[in-house]
Amino acid sequence: MRTRVLSSLAVVLVLALVTTACSKKNGNESGGGTTTIAGQKANDHGTKDVSGEASAELEQDNYYFNPTILKGTAGEKLTLELSNEGSALHNFSITDQGISQDVESGTKAEVTVTFPQSGTLVFFCKYHQTLGMVGALEVA
């Protein structure tokens, strides 16, 4: 009887650890749900303050940008290293700045963006925008 109780307890403990590990992994890689950016649904993978930075990495994966929102200073220029970690062709576009950069799966590309004078400027993947692959440059 004692062995059966200990075995059951061990199984419960292992399941709890696996569940915790999976939820942490999914929280970092699959996102924390969605957010709305300028009226558009975006798969939310966090915010990063890049104020004063010359460059930053922006991961593209299957239908999201990581981080989703980049905070910076009004008028600040930032070179983004786009890293396509997904299995599909992705894109980085900002209509107002004439940027449309394709990034093949497993490759990288660079673009230089300028933060707006105020508010939020939307960026998106032109192939997957309707699936929530949307992000923003936001003045901090």
pLDDT at site 21? 36
pLDDT at site 30? 44
pLDDT at site 100? 98
Between CA 23 and CA 65 the distance in angstroms is 19
Point out the residues of the chain with pLDDT beneath 70: 1-32
Give me the residue label for tokens 């059951």. 8
pLDDT at site 23? 33
pLDDT at site 31? 58
DSSP state of 98: T
